Amino acid sequence: MFGFDLHGLFKRVLGRRLNQPNIEILNLLANVIESRDPYTVGHTWRVAKYVSAMSRHLGWSSERVASLEIGSFLHDLGKISTEDRILKKPGKLTAEEYEQIKAHPTEGRRLLQGIEFLQSAIPGIYSHHEHYDGSGYPEGLQSDAIPEEGRLIAIADVFDAITSNRPYRNPMSAEKGLSYLQEQKGALFEPRLVDLFTSIWARGKLEKTVLHSEGHIPLIACPHDGPTIALKRGASEGDSIYCPVCKTRFVLVKRNKQWQVLLTQ
């Protein structure tokens, strides 16, 4: 799972509507997204951290922030309908393959229709690939016609993508990632929000969120700080391993063929 306080997050959004069926639905969606791509767990967690910081600086209510965070976790939900050969293709996509990828915001919205307590998350999910200049998809919305949730997720999504390891390329440095955001002000992104993200970064509030594994090995989730723990080559079960954010010492274990960490006594 995401290694994030999902129960607390859902409770802020749902309030008195929080119940076990709702939690089970959200956990199911989270597990489905994660199962499609080993990099998704870290990506969605980091995107949620970025948009949460930005929205709080904008003075959003706690409920709206929480809805945005859930939308961030689920923004790639629609990719569960994308073929594996396309989703995990190491090279450049064909025009036909790209069209299938472009369907994921619409598919994500479709999958959440009828789930009443998740309706507030849909605007960010559906519009996170719209561009400020109108060149994005699925509707080609422009400027303020794009929901603010989508404008925030767009910045966080792209920044994390270009500063993360992928099988087909090495990550860009955070400094170069920030420069790219500046270059795309007014084109892909709203200038005001790019400047906000850059300002928050300059204060050192987000640096620890950019933590990546070595050699394209997915990060392991710290129970306190999310997917931050890089697995070294040659690691063995029983090894001591530390979260670089909270400095907690864990023991490395393998459960169901996946690496996990256990808190030591």
CA 143 to chain centre: 23
- Alpha-carbon Rg for the chain, nearest whole angstrom, is 18
* In CATH, 6-209 is 1.10.3210.10: yes
- pLDDT, residue 41, reads 60
* 137/131 Cα distance (integer angstroms): 8
Bridge partners (DSSP) of residue 262 are 251
> In whole angstroms, how far apart are CA 45 and each of 27, 73, 226?
14, 7, 7
* 223/214 Cα distance (integer angstroms): 20
Residues of the chain with CATH 1.10.3210.10: 6-209
Question: What percentage of the chain carries pLDDT values higher than 70?
Answer: 80
Buried-exposed string 218-241: b where 16+ CB fall within 10 A, e elsewhere: bbbbbbebbbbbbbeeeeeeeeeb
Q: CA nearest 38: which of 241, 169, 221, 172?
A: 221
* 230/233 Cα distance (integer angstroms): 10
- pLDDT, residue 3, reads 45
Check: CB of residue 197 under 8 Å from CB of residue 163. no
- Name residues of the chain where pLDDT drops below 70: 1-20, 23, 27, 30-31, 34-41, 165-169, 208, 210-218, 225-227, 245, 265
